[in-house]
Amino acid sequence: MIQGFVVRPMRQEDVPAVVALQKVAFPPPFSEDLLWDPDHLVRHVELFPEGQFVGELESQVVASCSNCIVSEAKWQAHGSWTDTVGGPFIENHDPNGSTLYGLDVSVHPDVRRAGIGRAFYNARFDLVRSRGLRRYGTACRIPDYRPYLEGHPGTDAEEYVSAVLRGVTTDRTLTPLLRYGIRSLGVIEDYMEDAESRNAAALLEWIP
């Protein structure tokens, strides 16, 4: 972990920095339409303040982490991002739900591979325990799927995720999460508009 890095709750005054961070963390071909705008983040902090985090280094926001809680029914449906969380304003946030649902982790490229992702996941796992939730769950981007197809044409998303799980190939988003003790439950097709992932996502679960 980088010396001086801290994870703390997101505050309303952090919103402009988090919006700017998103554009650096998710450059094209990731669709800018899927990035948070200020109104989204303000609403997240209003609805679920303890579920929103930033990572700060030398008084600068260099990372962020957004979450909501969804009902057991929403989790078990394993639907698209919009169907599960209710869109960017997280209209399906349910404080009485069962599942802490990970919306995103954004890390500035200059401070990646320094343990920041693990720090956020530890914060997520602590939140699951403290609220007595059943699980942490999410559907994870698989951004190295599209380049993998160049050498392995015809590979479907299930086959690609299986290859990542077996260590045949690595994915810059999925592979690190598997090291945190999170297990894969399969693939959701048409999860969100994401050219690199061919709109698919790996369904993931962590149970305390």
What's the confidence (pLDDT) of residue 133? 98
What's the confidence (pLDDT) of residue 45? 98
Chain region(s) in the chain for CATH 3.40.630.30: 1-133
What's the confidence (pLDDT) of residue 104? 95
What's the confidence (pLDDT) of residue 1? 66
Tokens of 176: 């690190």
Residue whose tokens read 């979450």: 67
* DSSP-assigned letters across all residues of 98-128: SEEEEEEEEE-GGGTTSSHHHHHHHHHHHHH
Pairing outcome for strands 135-141 and 99-107? parallel
The Cα 194–Cα 93 span in angstroms is: 23
**Residue 81 near residue 192 (C-beta atoms within 8 A):** yes
Beta bridge partners of 203: 139, 186
pLDDT in tens, the chain (208 residues): 677 789 999 999 999 999 999 999 988 888 888 899 999 999 999 999 999 999 999 889 999 999 999 999 999 999 999 999 999 999 999 999 999 999 999 999 998 888 899 999 999 999 999 999 999 999 999 999 999 999 999 999 999 999 999 999 999 999 999 999 999 999 999 999 999 999 999 999 999 9
The Cα 41–Cα 46 span in angstroms is: 9
Predicted TM-score (pTM) of this structure: 0.93
Options 3.40.50.300, 3.10.20.30, 3.40.630.30, 3.40.50.970; CATH of 1-133: 3.40.630.30
